[in-house]
Each structure stands twice: as structure tokens, then as C-alpha cells.
Structure 1
């Protein structure tokens, strides 16, 4: 068997376009495109990693969980702070930006859509 592609898949209920707009603002170096089909889907690339955002036409009894998150490494503290501030607005801070021993500056947030982000300074 040969794997052709692996992507992170984020399923929303009617807010995928709003999430994509936020992520494009937070990470202006990212790239996105919409794919046509019966279900709204967008492909978003950040640092070579592909993330698919889709709006589910069906309601579901689950949402995102922090046990699965996007781990982003920053080389610039100001960029990390800006991302932290934007992603945590209207969301939840699980670990504020701080020195936790394993990292001199790390933060963990869930954005207003429930997507979990671990933000590490390298």
C-alpha cells in the first residue's frame, strides 16, 4: 500500500469559512483555496502542513478536543504573542505563555471554534 497524502481534517458546523479567515489573519504566510463540492471544503497550508476545513451538513454530538491540537513552533516571540492573543480571543487559555521547563516560552489555547493550538518558541 502506498500513502498518497496525509492531512489534518477539521470539521465545523457552519463556521469553516470564519475559521479559515481567522487562521489566514493569524498566519499571513499560509495559503488556502476552496474546493467545490456538495460540502464546503477548504485546503489550508501552513509551513507545508495541509489542513482541510469542512462544514458538515449534518449536526453531530461531538466537537474538537484538546487532546488533538496543532503544534506550532515560532522563531519570533512577537509573532508567537500575536498568534496567542488572536487565537485565544473568545476561546480558552489552557496554559498561558510562560516557561514550563520543557520550553522557555509555551502557550496552549483553544480558539473560539474549539480548535486547540500549542504555541512554542524555539
Structure 2
């Protein structure tokens, strides 16, 4: 079997399920594939995401609610890059992902694309949105 590389998102505030459902709502060809939850007496908060798999535009991702508190979180040096098909799609994603988050680069023409924007969403995950 060939190797497979999957992006893995670790949430520390019990946000994994909310984030996953939010992302799935934004993209076509997106779905929650599987969710395993912490049960009674397990290390994580009961009912929170022990491990989940979801797809966005055919690409598989995994996420968890970490049972252990870490001194690190998401950083923009690792981001999800989305090639958009239209100005409307770019604007919709930029607005939705930026709500409650932080704009790193506002939507504009930066010379390397027609239109580009970079945001951290409200969960801290970084997104680069591009219209070639």
C-alpha cells in the first residue's frame, strides 16, 4: 500500500467538531467521514473529539480535541491553500473564514495572482485564498 500524507489539526479548546463542521459547510465535495469521541473515564472530556476524519474538496483531513494542554497552537507558517474558481467564491471564503479571526493579508492584487487573501480563522487555522 502506498504511503498517504494527511493534514492533522489538533485543537486545544474543545473546538475540533465545531471547526470541522464549519469547514465542511464552506466547501463543495466536503463531508465528515468519521468521528470517535472520548467516553467516560477516558483522558479527554467526555463527548469531545478523540479522532475525526473529514474531507474538503476531495482532500482528507484529521482532527482531535487534545486531551493534553500544550504551550503551542496553530501558526501561519503552516496554512491551507485554496485555489478559488471565481471572485465570488474567494470573497465568500475570505469573509466566512475571517469572521472572528484575523486578516494577515487583506484581499488584494499582490502581483503573483489576480486576487489573494490570507486569514487566520476563529480557531487559529491559517488559510491562503487565491484567484489565479
TM-score (norm 2): 0.84
Structure 1, unpaired ranges of 5+: none
Structure 1 position 69, deviation (Å): 0.1
Match of 1:50 among 60, 73, 79: 60
Separation in 1, partners of 2:17, 2:36: 13
- 1:36, 1:26 → 2: CA distance? 22
The aligned length equals: 121
- Gapped runs of 5+ residues in structure 2? 39-48
Provide the C-alpha distance between the structure 2 equivalents of 1:94 and 1:42, rounded to a whole number of angstroms.
28
Distance 1:90 1:97 in 2: 16
Q: CA RMSD in A?
A: 1.5
In 1, Cα distance between equivalents of 2:84 and 2:130: 6
Structure 1's consecutive aligned runs of 4 or more residues displaced over 6 angstroms after TM superposition are none
Secondary structure of residue in 2 paired with 1:86: helix
Shift of 1:28: 4.1
Partner of 2:108: 98
TM-score (norm 1): 0.91
Matches of 1:50 and 1:33, distance apart in 2: 9
Equivalent-residue separation in structure 1 for 2:107 and 2:130 (angstroms): 9
**Cα deviation 1:80-101 (Å, max 9, x = unaligned):** 1111000000000000111000
Aligned twin of 2:23? 23
CA distance in 2, matches of 1:42, 1:119: 25
**Residue from 79, 95, 98 that aligns with 1:69:** 79
